[in-house]
Amino acid sequence: MKDGFRQSMAWLHTWTGLVLGWLLYFIFVTGTLGYLDTEIDRWMQPELPPAADNMTPTRAVTLGHDWLQANVASAKEWNILVPSDRNIPQLRLYWRDTDNERDSVNLDAAGEPVAARDTGGGQRLYRMHWQLHYLPGWFTGWLISIATFVMFVAMVTGVITHKKIFKDFFTFRPYKGQRSWLDAHNALSVLSLPFQLMITYSGLVFMMFLCMPLLISAFYGGGEAAEESFFDEVFLEEPEVTPSGEPAALVDLAPLIAQAEARWGAGRISHVGIKQPGDANARVHVNGLYSAGPLRTSPGMTFDGVTGELLHERAASGTVARNTRDVFLGLHEGMFAGPLLRFFYLLSSVMGTAMIATGLILWTVKRRQKLDSKGEGAALGVALVERLNVGTVVGLNIAVAVYFLANRLIPADFEGRADWEVHAMFLAWAAMLIHAGLRSPAQGWREQCVIAAVAFCAVPVVNALTTERHLVHSLAMGDWVFAGFDLAMIATGLTAAAVAFYLRGKPAEQPAGSRRAANRRRDASVSARP
């Protein structure tokens, strides 16, 4: 009975993992990069000065206000993002005009606008983590939700299937074919299991309003108005302000900032929003930092925009239900993570990505070995999965390198260049999938690793050729975001080169080998047994 249960769990694990494995791999790669979103943003706009996070909020708000007043005085809403920590590295303004059109500008330390290339940046890459690309929103919402459910099922069934979690806790046996892939898959998942469970469960929490819409109607009643009041409560939307039509000078913002800083601590301000500036009904919203802890909300204060009177104040901590949700979301996004904790987040998410990759490869290695021992050549399903693995596990990473290369190589005045960065990425991925389809898996792995090595190593080279901020310059200036980015590209490229070198002329060691290879591998593992 027990074995029967474990077997059906193993079956479920195998097939749920396979069917959505490539999509989950995409989600994990883009999610991993999401932990470096603002760092990637900064690298992708080399025109912007290095982070201005030593600017005081008062100074930032004064500069921002002066620019907005001088240039877009008629806008119905102003926003000033205060450079406060890694999450907001630059002084950035955005506004909505009377037609609801949004626009934005970055200011340097002197308050002058900085022209920077149009790019999707790290944010575009990160948004693919839950929005994918080229697909309608309602469809991706459901697809991502289903993938997250499946991920959760795969995690739980994986734990049940794994018979020796503690006995094999530290075990990795290299050079033993399928055994090694299973060991690697197990070690990667078990050693980062708390993170993987947290990230998957909290991923589901993100999707809860989509997946469980009826719960809202159950407590708030049906209809759009009820839904709206619910979302206002959840998302803490500041109500729209109707203009009185009477002009009135905006209150001096500096004392308001001082009041908020006295409350939350010096420098702990992330955003100042002004609704209907220049109108008698103007409102000023001041928001604190999101990075204080895993609770993903900030404290806020609302002031009368003319008299400067404090109208109401909101604590970061809300009701128990909202706090529960906010903690899960906060843990998922890790905006509070400093450098070391961010490194832990990266390590865990890279392990998750590798867990999916090894799982996908394991599926083919197992079946290829069985096919080969029966002397059967190709089975269509196995051959297809083998090639999709090559084109995704390596190919998607090449596509990411191409995204970065496109950022440097597409001319600054090229129409729609931000979109073409993404098109370049997906074209590269498509090319890699086609390449994988045309070559044998052994050739595919080797050749794509060579392509990945070249593509990643080319990134810092192209950066040096097209901008002033090359690696030596970044190191000399102590610009660790730029230097770190270039060094990470080189490290990734060298890793791919090492794998390609390892796979050279050794079909026996490539993940899903030919028949001869599999035989040799089996012989080796038999002889290695004591």
By the criterion CB under 8 A, which residues form the site for other proteins? Answer: 167, 169-174, 187, 191-192, 194-195, 198, 293-295, 331, 336-337, 340-341, 343-345, 347-348, 351
Instruction: Write down the least CB distance from residue 188 to other proteins, Å.
Output: 9
Least Cβ distance, residue 295 to other proteins (angstroms):
8
Counting beta carbons within 10 angstroms of the beta carbon of residue 374, is it exposed (0 to 12), middle (13 to 18) or buried (19 or more)? exposed
Strands (E) located in 306-372: 310-314
Q: Which is nearer to other proteins, 35 or 130 (CB)?
A: 35
In angstroms, the CA 149 to CA 70 distance is 51
Q: Pull the structure tokens for residue 426.
A: 């997906």
Q: For other proteins, give the closer residue by CB, 33 or 402.
A: 33
Task: Kindly state the smallest distance separating residue 499's Cβ from other proteins, in Å.
Answer: 17
| Residue with Cβ nearer other proteins (306 or 357) | 357
User: Nearest approach, Cβ of 90 to other proteins (angstroms)?
Assistant: 25
Q: How far apart are CB 192 and other proteins at their closest, in Å?
A: 5
d(CA 487, CA 508): 32
Local structure of residue 391 (DSSP, 8 states): I
Using the minimum distance from each CB to other proteins, give the nearer residue, 96 or 176.
Answer: 176
Q: How far is the CB of 128 from other proteins (least distance, A)?
A: 25
d(CA 332, CA 296): 10
Q: Residues 75-107, buried b or exposed e (16+ Cβ, 10 A)?
A: bbbbbbbbbbbbbbbbbbbbbbeeeeeeeebbb
Looking at 216-344, which runs of residues are DSSP E strands? 269-275, 283-288, 300-304, 310-314
For residue 51, the minimal CB distance to other proteins (Å) is 22
Q: What's the CA gap between 490 and 472, in Å, rounded?
A: 14
Please list, in sequence order, all residues whose beta carbon lies within 8 angstroms of the beta carbon of residue 351, skipping any fewer than 6 positions away. Answer: 188, 189, 191, 192, 195
Of 340 and 380, the one with the shorter C-beta distance to other proteins is 340
Q: How far apart are CA 387 and CA 445, in angstroms?
A: 9
Question: Which is closer to other proteins, CB of 160 or CB of 198?
Answer: 198
Q: Please, which residue, 36 or 250, has the CB nearer to other proteins?
A: 36
